[in-house]
Amino acid sequence: MAEMTMIQAINQAMAQEMERDERVVILGQDVGKNGGVFRATEGLQGRFGEERVMDTPLAESAIVGTSIGLAVNSFRPIAEIQFLGFIYETMDQISAQAARVRFRSAGRFTSPIVIRSPYGGGVRTPELHSDSLEALFAHTPGLKVIMPSNAYDAKGLLISAIRDNDPVLFLEPMKLYRAFKLEVPDEVYEVPIGEAKVVKDGEDVTIVTWGATVPLAQKVAEEAEPRNISVEVIDLRTVQPIDLETIVQSVEKTGRLIIVHEAVKSAGVGGEVASLVSEYSLFSLASPILRVTGYDTPYPVPSVEDDWLPTAPRIHAAIEKVMEF
């Protein structure tokens, strides 16, 4: 078992699925010779050829539209959008076309597409490169949205996504691409879509989070222990569908819930989690549900992004507030 970064695990997942299934193809700008904007597809064109790893023009809507055509003709395309902030061009193709193929055709056709895209802040990118837009797509019936936080999950979830018969948006936190390594099995394995993971047990407060803020929440939970506050951290891993059962079980144990994400606060996935807990576990709560998120502004310039993103002091303050309620 080798230690890998998240980007290496993503590369290995695609390579192994391309070896297993010749219907798996990759397309996007610079995914061939250059290996993609962050080198996720590095070496794959040389290994599998230009007919299976295809460079395209910088035309996001065409990349996804071509993928839909390939998918309904029995291929299993993986499309790369270089940064999530540029996915607006594909909204019609994803939400109005790919996500409706099964429903619209009464099950005669499916659209087994994986759309991979880096997202998130903390790496000093210019405007539109750091947006966290998961809520836009979690609102689309027929579409799954996956947001891994480590190399092990990234490989297993991507393999599950490639094998899924419906479209999947696979969002990769740029900040974590090469932040740390984990042991990742050499063999092929799947991590089930729609199953959250308790990454730290606790008794007093539940933190629900996903993607780039998972390591931050784990760090804060460890820092709270000397103050005799036991924090449970749940990595949602998939924001559509949401693993309600794991969240409710945790909240019924701790009685307190904080949701941490780096997307803007209003109308986000965090609001959906809070609503579900209110609906299914209201009388377990000993305090109001709090959210620690990005602010309701466009993503800021690099010089102030550290103040915009959720921070450890902001999460600690939320923990103190729910404990003192």
CATH number of the domain enclosing 234: 3.40.50.920
* Residues in the chain, total: 325
In a domain, 38, yes or no: yes
**Catalytic residue status for 316:** no
Q: In sequence order, what are the beta bridge partners of 238?
A: 146
In a domain, 192, yes or no: no
Do 170 and 271 lie in a common domain? no
In a domain, 10, yes or no: yes
Q: What percent of the chain has a predicted confidence (pLDDT) above 70?
A: 100
Do 220 and 282 lie in a common domain? yes
Do 142 and 283 lie in a common domain? no
pLDDT in tens, 279-305: 999 999 999 999 999 999 999 999 999
Number of domains in the chain: 2
Question: Residue 137: which CATH number?
Answer: 3.40.50.970
Asked if pLDDT for residue 95 goes beyond 90, the answer is yes
Do 118 and 42 lie in a common domain? yes
Nearby residues of 266 by Cβ (< 8 Å), 6 or more positions away: 296
pLDDT in tens, 131-142: 999 999 999 999
In a domain, 191, yes or no: no
Do 291 and 176 lie in a common domain? no
Distance CA 302, CA 273 (A): 29
**Quick one: which H or E segment has residue 239?**
strand 238-240
pLDDT in tens, 175-196: 999 999 999 999 999 999 999 9
85 DSSP 8-state letter: G
Which pLDDT belongs to residue 126?
Answer: 83
Which pLDDT belongs to residue 240?
Answer: 98
In a domain, 48, yes or no: yes
Look at residues 184, 217, 252 and tell me which one is the last residue of a structural domain: 184
Distance CA 137, CA 30 (A): 25
Which pLDDT belongs to residue 96?
Answer: 95
Look at residues 133, 150, 184 and tell me which one is the last residue of a structural domain: 184
pLDDT in tens, 35-62: 999 999 999 999 999 999 999 999 999 9
The active-site residue, picked from 129, 139, 261, 316, is: 129
Cβ–Cβ contacts within 10 Å for residue 278, how many? Answer: 12
Do 202 and 107 lie in a common domain? no
Do 96 and 165 lie in a common domain? yes
In a domain, 27, yes or no: yes
Q: What percent of the chain has a predicted confidence (pLDDT) above 90?
A: 97
Do 163 and 219 lie in a common domain? no
Average pLDDT, the chain: 96
Do 174 and 260 lie in a common domain? no
Which pLDDT belongs to residue 166?
Answer: 96
Radius of gyration of the chain (CA): 20
Domain that holds residue 64: 2-184
In a domain, 190, yes or no: no
Do 297 and 269 lie in a common domain? yes
Which pLDDT belongs to residue 127?
Answer: 81
Q: What distance separates the 2 farthest-apart alpha carbons in the chain?
A: 61
Do 112 and 227 lie in a common domain? no
Do 15 and 141 lie in a common domain? yes
| 230 closest CA partner among 206, 208, 248, 213 | 206
In a domain, 189, yes or no: no
pLDDT in tens, 192-240: 999 999 999 999 999 999 999 999 999 999 999 999 999 999 999 999 9
Look at residues 153, 184, 215 and tell me which one is the last residue of a structural domain: 184
